[in-house]
Structures are given as structure tokens and as C-alpha cells.
Chains A and B, each alone.
Chain A
Amino acid sequence: MTHAQGGYYLPSPSHWPLVGSIGLFLTTFGFALNPNDPTFLMYIGLAIIAYMMFGWFGTVIRESEGGLYNDQVDRSYRWGMMWFIFSEVMFFAAFFGALFYARQLALPWLNGEGNNAMTNEILYNGFQAVWPTDANGPANVGGDYKIIEAWGIPALNTLILLSSGVTVTWAHWGLKKGNRGQLILGLLATVILGFTFVGFQAYEYIHAYTEMNLTLGSGIYGSTFFMLTGFHGLHVTIGAIMLTVMLLRSMKGHFTADNHFAFEAAAWYWHFVDVVWLGLFIFVYWL
């Protein structure tokens, strides 16, 4: 049994962490055995991780609904979520860093800037660093490609994500007022917008791969483009799943006007992917 003692809340021993570790191990082991064609172990591992998430989060939800958590636990979760999001910011920072480095330093150097005239003259004669078209490098890795223009689907996606930020806030207001209808409607709209975004993104990827010859292999342009938008898309998907869970919980009557941190955590996360997208739109698609 979980027990609260002297005002503190202490969970009892749990098998979920170990299950999660085994899941992580099988996933990575199964993948690493053959990265280009992952073995079935990876899928077993992923299934175990999903099982662990259901079990572990299920326990937390039951404890929370059972009134076991006090303000202190709530604050711990808040700190935890904040720092988790900060770690995600730093993860994206690595890829944004790679993008800026390539555009501002690596490509100009290959072009002969600074003291690199000989690099260009002898190694890569004739290479011109123009972003994006010649940016698949001196060897024209992956061949010629076309780029996705900012003012088509990406602009639409910007609009979609920004509106979803509004709808989730509107849902939050509903929750705080005790208006469950508004909460559910707002969340539903957010989830729909979120998955629409992912759908557009998928469409764009297919288009890029099949018709524009823009792939992961299109030199540094394709590398940074897909790495940044891909990890962002993954995070949007995760965020949308989180919000879906919040939607289902709201429909089951979970959360009260002043006790709903899970909802807020999902909303924070959603705003985070929103902000990352703005960075992407500006630096990957537009400029």
C-alpha cells in the first residue's frame, strides 16, 4: 500500500521502473542489432514500454484521484515537468546549433571563406555555398532537389498550431471556471488541430520523398531539415497523445478547478512544441 506519513507522501515499492528498463533495453538492443531493418525484439521492447506507461501512469492517476497527493507532491511534479521540458529544449538546441553552424560556418568555409581558399580551390573546386540549393555539399550528395516553400503547408501548419495553443488555453479557462463542456470542447479542438498538423506534415514528407527528391540523404540541407522537423513532429505526436489522454480523463470526470496538474503539464508541453515550431518555421522553412 502506498502511504502518507507525517504529511509526506511516499509511494511503496513498484515493479514498473524495472519493466520500463527491460522495455528500453529490448527496444534499443533490437534496433542496434540491425539499424536499417530492426529486429522483432525492438517491437517487443516498444510494446513493453507502452505497457509500462499504461501501468505506471494508471497508478499515478488512481493515486491522484484517490486524493493521496498533497500540495507538496503537486509541486514536485511541477518542478519535474518544468525541468523535463528544459531538457527537451536543450535537445532541440543541439540540432538548431548544427543548422546554424552549417549555414554560418561550415558552408562558407567550404566555399573558401576565412583562410580556407585552398580548401575550395583544391578539394572542392567550383563549389558555391548557396543555401539551400547547393547545400547538399561539394559532392552533391543525394542529387538535385527542390525545397518546400514556407508559404504553403508550413504557413498553414503554423496557423494550426498557434490556434491549438489558443484552444488549449480556452479549455483551461473552462476547467478553472468549472465549465466541463468548455473544457472538453477546447481539448477536442486542440487534439483535432494537433493531429491535423501531423497529417499535413506526413503529407509533406511523402511529397518531398516521392516528388522533390528531398530526403535525409540530401546533404546538410536534407539532414537538418528532416532531423529538426522530424523530431518536432514526433514531439507534436507525443503532445497530442498526452492531450488525448487528458480529453478522455476530462470526459470521465477527472480534474477539479484547482487540482488538475496533469492537464497543465500536457498544456505546458503543448506550448513548448508550439514555440519550437515557430523557430522551425522561421529558420528552417522561411529564412
Chain B
Amino acid sequence: MSEHGPEKGIKRWLFTTNHKDIGTLYLWFSFIMLLVGGAMAMVIRAELMYPGMQVVNPNFFNMMTTMHGLIMVFGAIMPATVGMANWLIPMMIGAPDMAMPRMNNWSFWILPFAATMLVLPMFMGGDFLAGQGPAFGWTFYEPLSGQYDNLAFFIFAVHLLGISSIMGSINIIATILNLRAPGMTLMKMPMFVWTWLITAFLLIAVMPVLAGAVTMMLTDKYFGTSFFDAAGGGDPVLFQHVFWFFGHPEVYIMILPAFGIVSQIIPTFARKKLFGYSSMVYATAAIAFLSFIVWAHHMYTVGMPVAGELYFMYATVMIAVPTAVKVFNWTATMWRGAMTFETPMLWAVAFVFLFTIGGFTGLMLGVAPSDFQYHDTYFVVAHFHYVLVTGALFALIGGVYYWLPKWTGNMYDEKLGKLHFWLSVISVNVLFFPQHFVGLAGMQRRVPDYAVQFADWNFWSSIGGFVFGLSQLLFMYIVIKTIKGGEKASDKVWDNPEGLEWTVPSPAPYHTFETAPEIK
């Protein structure tokens, strides 16, 4: 019956209202973006492998760092987490689909157009290698970004991304609040669902503020306003405030779903219940709340009244408390568990270790007087790559391995999965750990050349980068191989996993839970 199976051909993907199809679209889109953004990172590392200028010109280099950051944040990590939400939330709460399936389709299908708007200007100046695309950093500070010719493309790309995120989040909130199976009380929801509920709230709260920021950029550049221009009574620093009011919650938007994924994986392979479930929920909510009141820790060196510096410093380091609650809970879950280390668990354990390193460097940066030393150096770059790559991305990859058998009905190749893990975890540390050293020694970020004293560590960092980049092609191979075939997965897949998604067949049928399951 056509009503129960997917449509045929391309129409299935263009017009679909099915959460699993849409989840798949999101995940593939984000993977393609990961490869595009990754290719740009390879250019950056190639240039930085040796001191001096050898591969690209400085403007092109700046364009690469800018586009790399934007594509990874808005194209890779965020859509990947939404893809996970689409696939998993309805299955986890016992719902047949998302609350608003047509809008769900729209949230996705805006993305390819937004990405087009974002990358198009790179090719519009005529001479690609001259680097005529956005080259003002992923934080697009005014007044630098205001100098750029094709700014409107960038601005509208951000608008489109915002529309997509807001609709996606509204859908997720409505689904979680309204479509839970009878008996699935809020405090029985899987952690992944909780983290996404809170993430969706953050998105709805801050994406409009970002839209406001770029709208002011638009009118400043094209319609004569003076929001960010001191000559007209405005202030470029205002831009930074508005941007970071979005920007800091944004980093939690990327990490909270990752927290959720890790909180699903670890109990399964430790064969214990998640330790301190309710404290996890409260910690997540606390992190979300604090994320709204700490934004100016990105602006310590910009010039703020001392009272401001102190306030933002104390508020920032307070985030360490709920974050530590989570880390301790994961550790306590593993404590005396009957642990095994299948691929998803390896990624999750690596996440706990490496994310924590990023958390510690965050603390160092959060202390205003020390941030005066670290700001705009590679130390910051190391910090946010530990939280985003070995944090958010590692959790997402682990999540793909964990649920792939449920999605496809086939087991992935465990040997290759482990190989992928070990290649990645070693190379990523070779890539990012030395950046702490050169950063502390004073190497600035966003500069294509550097003093020869930094040469050794940069060389190793580049080697690590190339290996890490190539390893992800292995990931693609493993995923495609699993989709095509492999050992059949059982319905439970793992030993004794918790959650409704493991009660349905593998692969999960096109429509799950057309009648609500009973939750005990």
C-alpha cells in the first residue's frame, strides 16, 4: 500500500513528510558539508605546515578559515544533530512521527539553498584563487565584515539558516511536549530527548537575535544606518555583544545533543542505568540558563568596564559546576560496570576524556586576566576544537555507529569501526594538542604565516590534520558498506539497551508506533 511505504524515486526525498527520510536527508547533508568544510581545513593546514607563504594567498587563507568555521557550525554539526533528532525522538518517545511533518520537510529543504547562498560568493568575483568570498572570520565582526562586497549573500544565508533552525526547533518542542506515548512522563524521557528539548529552546531564543544582528549589518551597509558606526553614534562593540548573545548559547546548541547521545551510549555498554538521571536533567537546564548570561567572556580584551569583566568572569566559571556534574555522572555510570568497548563506546569514552580537556581550557579562558594572554591565539583554537571536534563530532560519530544497525538493519564492520576510531583519536590529538603549546607561546590565530619558533609543532599539527581528514573517508566507506549489506542486526542490536527504539524491528519500519506503545 502506497500509504505505508515510501514514494518512489526522487519524489520520496523532495516531498517526504516522514521523520526517518528527513533525518536521513539531514545526516547526508551534514556529512557532505563535513567533507567540504574538511577540505577547507586541509588547505589551512597545508599553508600552516611550514612558516612562510607557500600554498595560497593571505586573502584566500582568510576565506578558508571563515568558510571552514561557518560550514562546520551551520552546515555540519547543527544539521547532524537535527538529523539525529528526527530519526530518534519520535522512536524514543513512542510517537508515529514529528508533530508537524510538512514543516519538518521545509526545515530541511531550506538548508541546501542556504548553503548555496553561503558558498556562492566564493565564486562570484571571477578569480576564485584571489579569495573574494567572505574572509572576515566565522564571527563576522563589524566593521571588517561591512567592508565586504557581497555581504548581502552572506546575510541572507544566515537568515535562511535561522528560519530552518527555528522551524525545526518548534517542531521538536511540539513533538516532545505533545506526542509522547501515554505513560512517558517528562522524567522518564531518554536523556537525548531531554537535551534536545532544551537545545530547541535555546535555538528559538537565540537564532532570532542572530537574525537581528545580520539585519542591522544589512541596513548599515546598504541603507545608511549607523548601528555599528561610531561616527553615527553607534558602536562596533555592539555587534560583538549581539553576536555573542547568540554565539555562546550556540556552542551549547552544538554540544547539548552530543551530551544526550553520550548519555545513551555509555549506560548500554557499561550495562548499568545512567547514574544520576535527574541531576543530568537539571544540569542540562542549568547549563542552558547560564549560557545566556556569559556571552561577553568572548570580549574580555575588547574593552569593558571592570565590573563587566568581573561579572562575566564569575558567571562563566560557574558553568563548570553543572558541566562537572555531567562528567562525574558519566564516570559514575561506568564505575564498576560490566564494560565492553564496541565502537560506539570507544567514541563515547574518548568524548568524556577529550571534551573534559576542552572544558578545562575553557575554564582557563574564562578567567579574564589569563584570557588577556590567550585571546586570539591558537590556545583558543585548541579549546574550541577539543569541545567541538572531540566533543560534538565524536559524539555524533559514536551515535551513528550506535544507531546505524537500527537504521539500516545491518551491523557495521566492527574491525573497520575500531580502525576508524583509533586512527581518528590519535590523529586528532596530534592535530590539536600542539596548538595549546603554540598558542601559549603566542601564535596568533587567523594568520597564514608565523614565526619560525612555532614551526615544529605546526608541522605535526598538519600531519595530524591530514590523517584525521583522510580517516573520515573510511567512515564514509563503513557507513555505505553497512547500508548495502552486512550481518543482520537483531531488534535489540546490543546486549540490553534501554529505550523504545530497541523494541521495534531492525531496520525500523517506515512508520513506527502508529498506535502508541504502553510505557511502564
Contact = CB atoms under 8 A, between A and B. Distances in A.
A98 B230 contact: no
Contact of A220 (B206, B227, B241): B227
Given A21-B109, A80-B174, A90-B206, A219 B15 contact: no
A220 B226 CA distance: 5
A15 B16 CA distance: 9
Interface stretch (A23-31, A146-154, A175-183, A192-200): A23-31
Given A15-B15, A138-B231, A90 B96 contact: no
Interface stretch (A101-109, A206-214, A240-248): A101-109
Interface string A49-82: 0000000100000000000000010011101100
B232 A223 contact: yes
A199 to B, nearest CB: 23
Contact of B178 (A75, A109, A142, A220): A75
A222 interface: yes
B14 interface: yes
Nearest to A60: B102
A114 interface: yes
A219 B156 CA distance: 24
B225 A90 contact: no
Interface in A1-53: 1, 3, 5-8, 10-18, 20-22, 24-25, 28-29, 31-32, 35-36
Interface in A126-143: 129, 135-139, 141-142
Contact of B152 (A14, A31, A56, A106): A31
Contacts of A217: 223-226
Contact of A31 (B156, B220, B511): B156
B495 interface: no
B202 to A, nearest CB: 11
Contact of B233 (A25, A75, A91, A107): A107
A72 B175 CA distance: 10
A35 B208 contact: no
B232 A219 contact: yes
B484 to A, nearest CB: 26
A188 interface: no
Nearest to A123: B230
Q: DSSP class of B's interface residues: helix, strand, loop or mixed?
A: helix
Interface string B93-115: 00111011111011001101100
A95 interface: yes
Contact of B222 (A20, A36, A137): A36
Interface string B112-152: 11001100000000000000000000000000000000101
A25 B227 CA distance: 27
A56 B100 CA distance: 13
Contacts of A95: 212, 216
B169 interface: yes
Range, interface on chain B? 35 or more
A8 B17 CA distance: 14
B234 interface: yes
Contact of B230 (A15, A80, A138, A215): A138
A87 interface: yes
A79 B99 contact: yes
B20 interface: no
A70 B276 CA distance: 38
Contact of A76 (B7, B100, B105): B100
A221 B224 CA distance: 12
Contact of A98 (B102, B207, B227): B227
Q: DSSP class of A's interface residues: helix, strand, loop or mixed?
A: helix
B231 A139 contact: yes
Contacts of A106: 230, 233-235, 237-238
Interface in B205-224: 205-209, 211-213, 215-216, 218-224
Given A11-B102, A17-B105, A90 B204 contact: yes
A36 B149 CA distance: 13
Contacts of B233: 102, 106-107, 110, 129, 135-138, 141, 219-221
Contacts of B229: 137, 141
A136 B232 CA distance: 5
Interface in A224-244: 224, 226-227
B177 interface: yes
Interface in B50-80: none
Contacts of B150: 32
A91 B15 CA distance: 30
Contact of B216 (A15, A75, A124, A227): A227
Range, interface on chain A? 35 or more
Contact of A10 (B101, B218, B230, B237): B101
A137 B207 CA distance: 30
Contact of B173 (A25, A79, A135): A79
A35 B152 CA distance: 7
A278 interface: no
Nearest to B201: A83
A11 B16 CA distance: 10
Contacts of B404: none
A286 interface: no
Contact of A80 (B152, B170, B212, B515): B170
B242 interface: yes
Given A136-B232, A136-B233, A11 B204 contact: no
Contact of B235 (A56, A83, A105): A105
A94 B238 CA distance: 11
Contacts of A35: 152, 218, 221-222
A16 B102 contact: yes
B153 interface: yes
A276 interface: no
A130 B12 CA distance: 61
A12 B17 contact: yes
B193 interface: no
B97 A137 contact: no
Nearest to A33: B152
Given A91-B208, A94-B209, A98-B238, 11 more contacts: A1-B3, A8-B514, A25-B113, A29-B117, A32-B155, A76-B99, A93-B212, A98-B242, A110-B230, A114-B305, A219-B232
21 contacts: A8-B95, A14-B17, A15-B14, A17-B109, A35-B218, A76-B174, A76-B175, A77-B100, A79-B174, A80-B99, A80-B100, A83-B170, A91-B211, A93-B212, A95-B212, A137-B230, A139-B231, A141-B229, A141-B233, A142-B232, A221-B233
Interface of B: 3, 7, 11-12, 14-17, 95-97, 99-103, 105-106, 109-110, 112-113, 116-117, 150, 152-153, 155-156, 159-160, 163, 166, 169-171, 173-175, 177-179, 204-209, 211-213, 215-216, 218-227, 229-235, 237-238, 241-242, 245, 305, 511, 514-516
10 A-B pairs closest in CB distance = A94-B212, A137-B233, A17-B106, A217-B224, A220-B233, A6-B515, A28-B156, A223-B225, A32-B152, A91-B208
